[in-house]
Amino acid sequence: MAARRNIPVGLLFILCSLTFLIATNTHETTSTSEHPDKAVNLPEKSTETGGQTTEQPAVEERQWEPTEFQEETVNDAAAEKQDATPPETTTTSAGAHPKDDFQEELVIRPLQSGDVYASFQFRTLWETDFMKGNKVSHYRLFPKSLGQVISKFSVRELHISFTQGYWRTMQWGQPFMPSPPGAELWVWFQDSVTDVDGTWKELTNVLSGIFCASLNFIDSTNTVQPSASFKPLGIGNVTDHRFLRYATLPREIVCTENLTPWKKLLPCGSKAGLAVLMKSEKLFHSSFHSQAVHIRPVCQDSECTTTSWELRQTLNVVFDLHTSGQGKREWSLFKMFSRTLTEACPLASSSKIYIDITDNPQGEQFELTPATHLLSQAVVLGDRRTFSVYDLTEANTFGSMRSLNLKTRPKSGGYIHYQPSKDRVRPHLLEMLVQLPPNSVTEVTVQFERALLKWTEYTPDPNHGFYVGSSVISALVPSMVAMDTNNTKERPLFSSFFPCKEESSYFVRIYTEPLLVNLPTPDFSMPYNVICLTCTVVAVGYGSLYNLLTRSFQIEEPNPRLAKRIANVIRRLRGVPPLA
């Protein structure tokens, strides 16, 4: 019965060994390239176009070829400098006007409880159309594996997240990108797809290969089509929820094997830019770790004359610095990530680090070194916060928000959509649209019964229990600060994920804790015994009734003694009449 788990384990093993091989190979290629001196941390311009390529060796992994860089070399020097002088490079690639754009940023927010919340966001914008007839074959910044997935499966929006740990809202506030524990995948397909379930199944298997996760466990028993929430986050006018699929695997464990292919999707990989900080031995030694990929079509400008595809990769991690034995709250990039930043990704049009200093306006709680003069303010989750900005490429300015009066809007009545489950076919889906009265507590309870499954339907560790995925609360919360409904305006990445449709409220999505339910198990060592014993009982019934039905009462003649019986037998053989 562990056959089902052996396949992803085997796949992981093969991919790990392949990754190891690739890592050793790239190490050799980079060590053989020329490095003038270690003090220079500025990549040269495109004078070495024909230089080394950091392409991966032609190892066929999962039949998707990684992106190729015909650009400068990447310098992976181990200088101690953390940053600050903006380098003078621009990221013009060889060729025509750039239709694709890459931005990266890191937000660091010290939390009240002493932990540090770091959120990486990498966004690639590409003005192309996967849906038209001409096949896109020249990939530059956009990863080819995901582009092929989009065009092959006619995906309109794809959101996938892998999370380890549970977000403690009471101590940490709200995350920028909420995600439930385990793996969560929700996809909007184009309306040209005829067989959505079949496409969904293929898509989950392909994504399972791309991200080295066991997403192949997603099937009809844990897929639902929510009708009221998970509306598209990008543009588009298809809102028929038949094209939406949502699945969650609360049991999924996130580890290095998931981080490595995720990092490979970045244009600079983990060689330059902010992705250098993402080393798994520190990232997984944290209280909360979540990595996600979001693909959606967005408008390029406010009139929406052109659309482009946006790929966002986000990584949220909360470090508990108390575990490292520090008495004081002292942190640095090196302490958190055990790496330092040397340069921006040369392919990025903007590369910034934001430190949240809202709780420290006069510098009394902590001090930032090296100091920076750049400040910006952004409205995130209905709250205006102040950030110190370190621009790794060049200085940018942010517009500041102005506050306006709030406008309240009445909401429509309650709506309940309930789809009961069918055993072994589909899960329960309960969607409720409620308006919560202020200053009150609303409780939603669901009664359930535990079921006994067939012995083959249990996982190899049945006593661990079964996970019930997180519930999702999607809410429009009245905002104290007016939001800007112009979604194409230039904004930091962390505040521009959820589109704003109205000025007076912002959208927030909260995931609850998953539930671990202990189900009664049969004794797995007993199939043969059970079959024998139950059939014995049935046979007892059959035997008694058979005797009573086919036999009749007769007077019993006593058996003669043994000698007489033998004598009678011999007499019968001789043909002589027997004894009395």
Binding site for other proteins (CB under 8 A): 416, 418-424, 428, 447, 449, 451-456, 520-523, 526-527, 530-531, 533-534, 537-538, 540-542, 544-545, 547-549, 551-558
Per-residue burial over 60-77, b if 16 or more Cβ lie within 10 Å, else e, is ebbebbbbebebbbbbee
**Cα–Cα–Cα angle for 536, 539, 540, rounded to 5 degrees:** 90
Nearer to other proteins, 281 or 449 (CB): 449
The nearest distance, CB 542 to other proteins, in angstroms, is 8
CB of 383 to other proteins, least distance (A): 38
Q: Minimum CB separation from other proteins for residue 540, in Å?
A: 6
Please tell me the distance from the alpha carbon of residue 27 to that of residue 49, in angstroms, as a whole number.
Answer: 21
Question: Minimum CB separation from other proteins for residue 445, in Å?
Answer: 14
Name the residue nearer to other proteins (CB basis): 406 or 539.
Answer: 539
CB of 337 to other proteins, least distance (A): 44
Q: Return the HEC string of 104-145.
A: EEEEEEECCCCCEEEEEEEEEEECCCCCCCCCCCCCCCCCHH
| Cα angle, residue 475 at apex, residues 470 and 479 outer, rounded to 5° | 140
CB closer to other proteins out of 170 and 580: 580
Q: Whole-number minimum distance, CB 465 to other proteins, in Å? A: 13
- Are 346 and 89 in contact, with CB atoms under 8 Å apart? yes
Give the contacts of 218 (CB within 8 A, at least 6 positions apart): 185, 204, 247, 249
Between CA 496 and CA 162 the distance in angstroms is 21
HEC readout, 224-290: ECCCCCCCCCCCCCCCCHHHEEEEEECCCCCCHHHHHHHHHCCCCCCCCHHHHHCCHHHHCCCCEEE
Q: CB atoms < 10 A from the CB of 332, how many? A: 10
Residue nearer to other proteins on the CB measure, 516 or 538: 538
Nearer to other proteins, 408 or 418 (CB): 418
CB nearer to other proteins: pick between 477 and 532: 532
Q: Smallest distance, Å, CB 468 to other proteins?
A: 17
Cα angle, residue 515 at apex, residues 436 and 381 outer, rounded to 5°: 45
Q: By C-beta, is 371 or 549 nearer to other proteins?
A: 549
- Closer Cβ to other proteins, 452 or 570, answer by number: 452
Give the DSSP H or E segment for 565: helix 562-574
DSSP-derived pairing of the beta strands 350-356 and 100-110: parallel
- Least distance in angstroms from the C-beta of 369 to other proteins: 56
Q: Are 120 and 274 in contact (CB under 8 A)?
A: yes
Output 531 or 570, the one with its CB closest to other proteins: 531
Q: Of 156, 112, 41, 74, whose CA–CA distance to 392 is shortest?
A: 41
Q: Return the closest-CA partner of residue 349 out of 403, 268, 432.
A: 268
What is the SS3 assignment for 570?
A: helix
Three-state SS letters, 347-378: CCCEEEEEEECCCCCCCCCCCCCCCCCCEEEE
Give the nearest distance from C-beta 228 to other proteins in angstroms: 15
Residue 198 CB, nearest approach to other proteins (Å)? 23
* Pair of tokens at residue 294: 């979001």
Residue with Cβ nearer other proteins (37 or 557):
557
Q: How far is the CB of 360 from other proteins (least distance, A)?
A: 51
In the complex with other proteins, which residue's Cβ is closer, 281 or 461? 461
